[in-house]
Amino acid sequence: MKEDTDIRKDFPILNQEINGKPLIYLDNAATTQKPKVVIDRLSDFLSKENANIHRGVHYLSMNATTLYDEARSCVANFINAENDDEIIFVRGATEAINLVARSFCNEKLEPDDEILITEMEHHANIVPWQLIAGEHGARVVPAPITDEGEMDLDQFESLLNERTKLLAFVHASNALGTINPAKKMVEIAHRKGIPVLIDGAQAVAHQEVNVQDLECDFYVFSSHKIFGPDGLGVLYGRKELLNKMTPYQGGGDMIETVSFDGTTFRPSPERFEAGTPNISGAIGLKAAIDYINDIGWETIHEKESLLMNHANESLGKIPSIKLIGTAENKVPVLSFTIDSAHPHDIATILDTKGIAVRAGHHCAQPLMKRLGLSATTRASLSFYNKVDEINQLTEALKEISALFES
Amino acid sequence: MEDLSDLYQEIILAHNKRPRNGEPLIPCTHQAEGFNPLCGDKLTVYLRKSDEEVNEIACNTEGCAISRASGSIMTTMIQGKTVSEIEKQIEETKTLLTGDEEPEIDLAQHGDMAALVGVRKFPARIKCATLAWHALESALRGEVEATTE
């Protein structure tokens, strides 16, 4: 197993001071930091290998095409997709969801149809469905959660009905940390013949994902949340569904033949990748996945559960702190409130101590409303964090509590 | 807590805990809401105003310490002033909080608002400090809503 100090050295950004204090980066649910292997890979590609793909006969173009295809293959292995063609590169998880809303749901939705989501969704898994539902007189229905932040599976099942045309839910909640029983939820939906999209943006950095085992129809995530570059996301879709879907955007690379009488389209993935894609991003994502595989899930789990247990215990001892989201199965996300201090004030004071956290509604306003909150402060961890960083967070929160209660 | 002496001073914390003129003023002659969609700060400014003068003012805020303190301090500075005096005060406050040049603090001119000048070091929080003042401007103009976006 890699020693902690070696892991820290892999991430150059961690070795710096913010506001005169060593950086303590606890905003990993917003974006993860990049290991040097990813930074170097991007730099190497742009310095020595850059060219456009799929259209050149010259060496650099053919080589870039191979690298891009290898990246697709690497992602397919990473989530255990059956075929490389089932992996579509987009701008991010948000665009992947919009693509499914536009290209899959557009032809399916009739007036009074329903898309079932959950109360714990990120806006990215609410708004695209509202837009497409609105165009067809259909509606988006939220399945309720418990006060602890877990799915109420009985109510969930009863909401899936003959009008439900799609189930879309978050694998792990960005605001609460809850890991949903994804396989079970897919199974319940499939029993009723309802296709399923899983938003894996917060799950992929913390656990091995196997789309064939989950049996989901679509799975989406963003590269920047798993140590890769931003501006790149992944849509996984089952091949037979993808090749029946209408294109999302038109342009170069996605066509078979174009004439002014009409155009025919290539199958997936090119069908959905109009124009020059984010080539360096895909190559950077491959470097990130190689890095994760190199560290290994066992090490990641061990380090993250150690940190999470310590954080739960330490923050749990501060009487003024209320943890929001206490599901049994969680990714390392700690959302909390302090009665006397607003989350933005907490985050600003933590920032003066070099501690980076997120404060606000976490792009989940309906969830905040459900919980009767306007905002929370969120510390989200990664395997490169240290126990000592949790201790410093704890001390800082005690001080903040005392300051606002005085 | 010496690091925080710049922004979270006692004066701010006291206004946050017990805002002055913080209850809704009903009935009133003018009223405007301020909303910062980014962080969720929400406030309402109420005025009882004649043609020339604001006789009474209240600012009811749901939000962070900076927005609550700013609104509270604002009400103490505005009460009983003429409209032209208030307009001058709004401009001075904007310059104090957002002007390009580091301001010279003049307690006679800026009053307790001087305590909020530390917000200049926190660009993400400046809108929290200016929200109440934007809403006051809207209320004076007879508009109903101010937003920082």
- The domain total for chain B is 1
How much is the ipTM here? Answer: 0.88
Q: What percentage of chain B carries pLDDT values higher than 70?
A: 93
User: What is the pLDDT at residue A400?
Assistant: 96
Record the tokens describing residue A205, joined without a space.
């950095």
Measured from the Cβ of residue A406, the count of other Cβ atoms closer than 10 Å reads: 11
Q: What is the pLDDT of residues A353-390, one digit of tens each?
A: 999 999 988 999 999 999 999 899 999 999 999 999 99
Distance from CA of B61 to the nearest CA of A (A): 12
B78 Cα to chain A: minimum distance (Å): 26
- In the predicted model, is pLDDT for residue A146 greater than 80? yes
Q: Which residues contact A336 (CB under 8 A, 6 or more apart)?
A: A315, A321, A322, A323, A324, A376, A377, A378, A379
Report, as an integer, the average pLDDT of B121-136.
Answer: 93
What pLDDT shows up at residue A54? 86
For residue A343, which residues of chain B lie inside 8 Å, CB to CB? 64
The answer, yes or no, to whether residue B1 has pLDDT greater than 60, is no
pLDDT tens column, A292-302: 999 999 999 99
pLDDT digits (tens, 9 = 90+) for B74-119: 999 998 899 999 999 999 999 999 988 888 887 777 788 888 998 9
State what percent of residues in chain B have pLDDT above 90. Answer: 62
The whole-number average pLDDT for the span A188-200 is: 98
What would the pLDDT profile of A82-117 be if each residue is shown by its tens digit? 999 999 999 999 999 999 999 999 999 999 999 999
Give the structural domain span for B10: 2-147
As a whole number, mean pLDDT of residues A41-66 equals 94
Q: How high is the mean pLDDT of chain A?
A: 96
Q: Assess whether the previous peptide bond of B27 is cis (omega < 30° from 0).
A: yes
Question: Which residues in chain A touch residue B1, judged by CB atoms under 8 angstroms apart?
Answer: 399, 403
Which pLDDT score is estimated for A341? 95
Assigned token pair, B91:
């401009």
A262 band by pLDDT with thresholds 50, 70 and 90: confident
Would you state the pLDDT for residue A132?
97
Give the pLDDT mean for A26-53: 98
Question: What six digits make up the tokens of A334?
Answer: 């700690």
Q: Does A344 touch chain B (CB under 8 A)?
A: yes
The share of chain A scoring above pLDDT 90, in percent, equals 92
Q: What is the pLDDT of residue B146?
A: 65
Per-residue CA distances from A117 to A181, A190, B57 (Å): 14, 15, 45
Whether B39 and A377 have beta carbons less than 8 Å apart is answered as no
Query: Is residue A268 pLDDT above 50, yes or no?
Result: yes
Q: Residue A131 in 3-state DSSP?
A: helix
Instruction: Please compute the mean of the pLDDT values over residues A158-178 and round it to a whole number.
Output: 98
pLDDT bucket at A1, cuts 50 / 70 / 90: low
CA atoms within 13 A on the CB side of A338: 31
Q: Pick the catalytic residue: A74, A105, A216, A363?
A: A363
Which residues of chain B from 63 to 82 reach within 8 Å of chain A, CB to CB? 63-66
Distance from first CA to last CA of chain A, Å, rounded?
Answer: 46
Reported confidence tier of residue B5, pLDDT bands at 50, 70, 90: very low
Q: Where are the alpha helices (DSSP H) in A238-386?
A: 239-242, 279-295, 297-316, 343-352, 365-370
Chain-chain contact of A375 with B39 (C-beta, under 8 angstroms): yes
Question: Does any CB of chain A come closer than 8 Å to the CB of residue B120?
Answer: no
Partner-chain residue, chosen from B3, B13, B39, that has the shortest CB–CB distance to A360: B39
Residue A154 predicted with pLDDT over 60: yes
**If DSSP codes are grouped into helix, strand and coil, which group holds residue A87?**
strand
Q: What pLDDT sits at residue A44?
A: 98
Q: Percent of chain A having pLDDT more than 70?
A: 100
Chain A residues with CB under 8 Å of B39 CB are 344, 359-360, 375
pLDDT of A315 over the 80 cut:
yes
Please indicate if any CB of chain A lies within 8 Å of the CB of B125: yes
Decide if A105 is catalytic.
Answer: no
| Residue B2 reports pLDDT greater than 60 | no
Cβ separation B65–A374 shorter than 8 A: no
- Could you tell me if B62 lies within 8 Å of chain A, comparing CB atoms? yes
Give the CATH number for residue B133. 3.90.1010.10
pLDDT given at position B106: 79
A378 touching B (Cβ < 8 Å):
no
A17–chain B Cβ distance below 8 A for any pair: no
**Are the beta carbons of B65 and A404 separated by less than 8 Å?**
yes
pLDDT at A71: 98
Inform me whether the C-beta atom of residue A313 falls under 8 Å from chain B C-beta atoms: no
Tens-digit pLDDT profile for residues B52-75? 899 999 999 999 999 999 999 999
How many C-beta atoms surround the C-beta of residue B126 within 10 A? 17
**Strands A255-259 vs A262-265: parallel, antiparallel or unpaired:** antiparallel
Nearest to B40 among A341, A345, A375 (CB): A375
Find the residue in A nearest to B10 (Cα).
A403
Residue pair A234/A90 in contact (Cβ under 8 Å)? The answer is yes
Rounded to 5 degrees, φ, ψ at B142 are 85, 10
Instruction: Output the CA–CA distances (angstroms, integers) from residue B19 to A312, B70, B79, B109, in the order listed.
Output: 34, 9, 15, 21
The domains found in chain A, sorted by start residue, are 4-26+296-401 (3.90.1150.10), 39-293 (3.40.640.10)
Strands B145-147 and A196-199, sheet pairing: unpaired
Q: Assess whether pLDDT exceeds 90 at residue A11.
A: yes
Coil, strand or helix: which one is A227?
coil
Prediction pTM value: 0.94
Helical ranges in A79-139 per DSSP H: 93-100, 127-136
> Which residues of chain B make contact with A353, given a CB cutoff of 8 A?
3
Residues of chain A in contact with residue B65, where contact means CB-CB under 8 angstroms, are 341-342, 345, 404
